[in-house]
Amino acid sequence: MTVPQAWTHRTVLLNEAVQALHLNPDGHYIDATFGRGGHSRLILSQLSAQGRLTAFDKDLDAMAEAASIADARFAIRHEGFSHMAQLPAGSAAGILMDLGVSSPQIDNAARGFSFRGNGPLDMRMDTTRGQSVAQWLADASIESMTEVIRDYGEERFAGQIAKAIDRRRQERGPLGSTAELAEVVAGAVKTREPGKDPATRTFQAFRIFINAELEELQQALSASLKVLQTGGRLVVISFHSLEDRIVKQFIAEHSREVFDRRAPFAAPKAMRLNALGRIKPSDSEIAENPRSRSAVMRLAERTGVPA
């Protein structure tokens, strides 16, 4: 395993997220998205010799970074965080999910996540498995591309972009680089909000789709109900509306009593979470790290009701 280049990364809502976990020094915690380990290192600094931290990440550079943590209380799994469902029921005192991509992933053009630097059109979190965006786009139908760009990018020009990609394939062959994709999108999108690159939403859509990010988030949230012990905290940081909507709806669904209209006299299904609100980055954090401006952190606490 190679040591990753030292791309700059600032952990968003670092102290706020760890404080929100309400750490028990002897507890077992889950860092569902290790990244570059900012949250993990702060959690470990506040655990006792009996405390434990389990982390998950699909990115090989993240795994290499985790290898530098020589701590018997720490373990990392090269898996998506939906695999936390494999952990014992009630085994975690808290779960932290920091969603999206990290700055090193964006800034490293070789990963293909960004249109700002030319690189291979990849975008996989785990480069050891699955299709790259370039491989998928080589054969994807106009209808499939339109659906992905519209649903995952919330892009109103989805149809025009999909047709432009198809024309490009027919005229010059499959797209292979981020610069080629950005150029095609720019030619299809005639208007855009000031200061926003025309390719932003399309790149987001393809990244979310190729990594099945929303499906994995939904599975991980469901798993959290099983894995969290009574009083355990769920802390989720999201960076765009699709993720935040899923988290918000999940917490809302499980923090209210549900009545079955088909059985009006039956006892309601008791709530399994207590919603504890949301936190946004401070003005000072946004000034120091502009990439934090879209972050939303939502908090909930597990009740004693079985999953």
CATH number of the CATH domain containing 256: 3.40.50.150
Q: How confident is the model at residue 7 (pLDDT cuts 50, 70, 90)?
A: very low
Q: Which of 193, 210, 227 is the last residue of a domain?
A: 210
pLDDT at 173: 95
pLDDT at 193: 72
In terms of domains, do 137 and 204 share one?
yes
pLDDT at 114: 78
In terms of domains, do 280 and 246 share one?
yes
Mean pLDDT, the chain, rounded, equals 91
Mean pLDDT for the stretch of residues 27-46:
96
Q: Which of 156, 175, 210 is the last residue of a domain?
A: 210
pLDDT at 253: 94
Mapped onto helix, strand or coil, the DSSP state of residue 279 is strand
pLDDT at 100: 75
Mean pLDDT for the stretch of residues 86-100:
96
In terms of domains, do 97 and 149 share one?
no
Q: Quick check: 118 and 109 in contact, CB under 8 A?
A: yes
In terms of domains, do 201 and 219 share one?
no
In terms of domains, do 86 and 63 share one?
yes
Position 2 in a domain: no
Position 251 in a domain: yes
pLDDT(110) > 80: no
Burial code (b: 16+ CB inside 10 Å, e: under 16) for 257-287 equals eeeeeeeeeeeeeeebbebbeebebeeebbe
Position 248 in a domain: yes
In terms of domains, do 229 and 247 share one?
yes
Task: Quick: pLDDT tens for 59-84.
Answer: 999 999 999 999 999 999 999 999 99
Task: Quick: pLDDT tens for 124-169.
Answer: 999 999 999 999 999 999 999 999 999 999 999 999 999 999 999 9
pLDDT at 10: 79
In terms of domains, do 131 and 192 share one?
yes
150: tokens are: 């519209």
pLDDT(266) > 60: no
pLDDT at 192: 73
In terms of domains, do 160 and 85 share one?
no
Position 188 in a domain: yes
In terms of domains, do 163 and 189 share one?
yes
180 is in which domain, residue-wise?
Answer: 126-210
What pTM was computed for the model? Answer: 0.90
pLDDT(109) > 80: no
Task: Quick: pLDDT tens for 212-243.
Answer: 999 999 999 999 999 999 999 999 999 999 99
CA–CA distance, 247 with 234 (Å, rounded to integer) = 10
Task: Quick: pLDDT tens for 189-206.
Answer: 977 777 788 999 999 999
pLDDT at 107: 65
CA 159 remoteness from chain centre = 26
CA–CA distance, 184 with 178 (Å, rounded to integer) = 10
Position 113 in a domain: no
Q: Quick check: 90 and 228 in contact, CB under 8 A?
A: yes
Closest CA to 33 of 73, 77, 94, 71: 77
- Count up the domains in the chain and report the number: 2
